[in-house]
Structure 1
Amino acid sequence: MNQSKQLTDGVLLTAIFMALMLIAAFIPIISLVAAFLLPVPFIFYASRYDWKPAMVMLIAASVLSVLLTSIISLPLPLLMGLGGIMAGSAIYRNFSAYETLARGTIGFVIGMVFIFAFGHLAFQVNLVTEINQSMQESLTMSQDMMAQFGLAELSEEQVNMVTEQLAMLTDLLPVWVAVAALVLAWISQWVSYKLINRLERKQLCFPPFRSLRLPVSLIWIYFFALILSFFNQEQTGMLYTAVHNVLMLTGIFMTLQGFSFIFYYAHTKRMSKALPITSIILTLFLPFILLYLVRLLGIIDIGFSLRDRISNDKT
């Protein structure tokens, strides 16, 4: 009976995945929504039966996607399947919401790396080169438009500065991949929690954002990368790119920790929820001033257990 139900669920969820994939490919209006829902069938199936049956489902979905569309579509089920299976397997093992999110993010990162490798090996497409070329074309087009409208053209020094900034964005590609994977993992996990709770009468949910506490080791990684950045002043080479990406990624996490502390402080002191929400809005509008203050607050909270001190003062 269990084998029969497992097979039935696998066929049904594979069909749902294929329908969502076709919607995402051919209906532009709702393609973005469908794209975020693509990992959900894999998360749901792996949360019931663990990763081994879910891998069989992934193989079936990959074969069907190639047969119904083309070999070009192969990376999509692998991306959504790997992330979904990692998250679903964590749910199956009763991991916490943030542990599940971390595993799902790792799965999506692996899937995205596969997409880059697949494009390079199968079609000789280098993503970094393509991005650089697109940025240069956009810069040239902007200069031509400014000339046509009679606006002041950029000086050579300004063009070089913009070119360096664009190159920096390309160097930070691993960070953008990690952030994109994190967002995709969070949305698909949140939707899956709602579905699982409704169908299986569970109470899966993310804990309040104010309870987020990142490991202390994150600070040591950040400061180690910061120290390396002082000894590596040349903005070229693999070491510079790696250090810069680590600094950016850990900085993002510590900024999240800083916002979490603001939410915690407002909750502990029984302040209005408008305070932490306003802090986020102001930081978005004044990032060059407030972003570093929020990040510093996150560092202090992680390193010195700031919220524990507030809790002790309260008691």
Structure 2
Amino acid sequence: MQNNQTRKLAHGAMMVALFTVLMAIVFYMPVVKIIAAIIAPLPIIWYSANYERKYSFLVAGIAVIVTFFIGGLLLIPASLIFAAAGLTIGDAIYHKKSKVFMFISTSISLLITFAIQYVIAVRLFEFDFIRNSLDLMKTGYLESIKMTEKLTGQATPKEALDNLNNMLNTLEMTIPAAVTLAMLTSALVLISVNLPILKRLKVDVPKFSKFSELRLPRSVLWYYLIVLSINIFIRPDPDSSLAIIMLNISMILWVLLTIQGISFIHYALDAFGYPKFIKVLSTFIAIPLYSFVILVGIIDLGFNARDYIQEKSQK
């Protein structure tokens, strides 16, 4: 028993030290900060995957506190996000959860951590970094327009200014969807990079199925139909809260259905034995043709299209 406790303490101290080093690299070494940021949760993941939840929370908490002494308050937001991601991924491994559960729980963990930090920044420090970023972007666009007017000697058409304002307003309204998609992407990157490393460290990690076998829940299709019906039949006022909510949900659903459509295209190409470079090419082509790919995703979820493809490929 004593040896087990000593091992927990020793491993905990090692993981805290390693996490602190990685966060120091993120903070002080811009050249390799992206690589360090991606693997920063790894020490917390490893510890959480091997020890009980209460010890994992303790180690993660100590790790965040220690990073305060090397980077001050500026480093705390990043260390909290990476520690939360590490705890969630490691806990899912410890309890033998699936990779889908791991992805969803990690995404939610990142979203909650980000939201709490944003509220604290706005309420306590009166620092709205999202608003400041939008204002900076708007200022940059206006300055570029003024510079263009000086160089050409011609005033910018009113239609172009209206389009710019509409774009910036749409961008502002879709911030919740953008943040959600960013957290989903971050969770996917952290899981995809750190799990192979953990596997090399002899940690039993779950496996993702092939991308071509991806099937989103059919409820996604129903959500899309509900949102589409509201936009067509109710037609909420563009400035209303309902319109903003529908716009953000629509963005997330568009991305999900686009991914589903690309997955179906990969499945069809695999079924007919096309080489891998065709799949890569089809993915790049799918991005500008996302409207068509969304339709493919809807067909894939709503009908047994994969069974039809499988039958055709076997003839």
Q: TM-score, normalised by structure 2?
A: 0.92
> Percent sequence identity over matched residues?
25
Other structure's SS at 2:152 match: coil
Tell me the alpha carbon deviations over residues 15-66 of structure 1, each in whole angstroms, 9 at most, x when there is no partner.
1111111111111111111111222222222222243322112211221122
Cα RMSD (Å): 1.9
Alignment of 1:171-186 (within 5 A): 171-186=173-188
Matched, 1:308 2:307: yes
Query: Structure 1 residues 308, 85: CA separation in 2 closer, same or farther (over 3 Å shift)?
Result: farther
The one-letter amino acid paired with 1:267 is D
| Whole-angstrom CA distance in 2 between matches of 1:84 and 1:165 | 36
- Corresponding residue to 2:201 among 194, 199, 202: 199
Tell me the alpha carbon deviations over residues 210-258 of structure 1, each in whole angstroms, 9 at most, x when there is no partner.
1111000011111111222232342213221111111110110111011
Query: Structure 1 residues 10, 24: CA separation in 2 closer, same or farther (over 3 Å shift)?
Result: same
| Whole-angstrom CA distance in 2 between matches of 1:226 and 1:314 | 34
Query: Structure 1 residues 199, 144: CA separation in 2 closer, same or farther (over 3 Å shift)?
Result: same
| Whole-angstrom CA distance in 1 between matches of 2:244 and 2:135 | 19
Tell me the alpha carbon deviations over residues 263-309 of structure 1, each in whole angstroms, 9 at most, x when there is no partner.
1111111112222211111233xx2xx11111111111111132133
Alignment of 1:1-315 (within 5 A): 1-150=3-152, 152-200=154-202, 202=204, 204-230=206-232, 231-284=234-287, 287=288, 290-313=289-312
CA contact (8 A) 1:213 1:302 kept: yes
CA contact (8 A) 1:258 1:299 kept: yes
Deviating more after overlay: 195-204 vs 165-174: 195-204
Other structure's SS at 2:201 match: helix
Query: Structure 1 residues 152, 96: CA separation in 2 closer, same or farther (over 3 Å shift)?
Result: farther
| Whole-angstrom CA distance in 1 between matches of 2:187 and 2:143 | 36
Q: CA deviation at 1:201?
A: 5.9
Q: CA deviation at 1:146?
A: 0.4
| Whole-angstrom CA distance in 1 between matches of 2:86 and 2:275 | 37
| Whole-angstrom CA distance in 1 between matches of 2:237 and 2:154 | 32
The one-letter amino acid paired with 2:20 is M
CA contact (8 A) 2:236 2:242 kept: no
CA contact (8 A) 1:20 1:35 kept: yes
Q: CA deviation at 1:312?
A: 4.7
Q: CA deviation at 1:135?
A: 2.3
Q: Give the total of aligned pairs.
A: 311
CA contact (8 A) 2:27 2:75 kept: no
Query: Structure 1 residues 177, 51: CA separation in 2 closer, same or farther (over 3 Å shift)?
Result: farther
Q: CA deviation at 1:209?
A: 0.7
Deviating more after overlay: 83-92 vs 212-221: 83-92
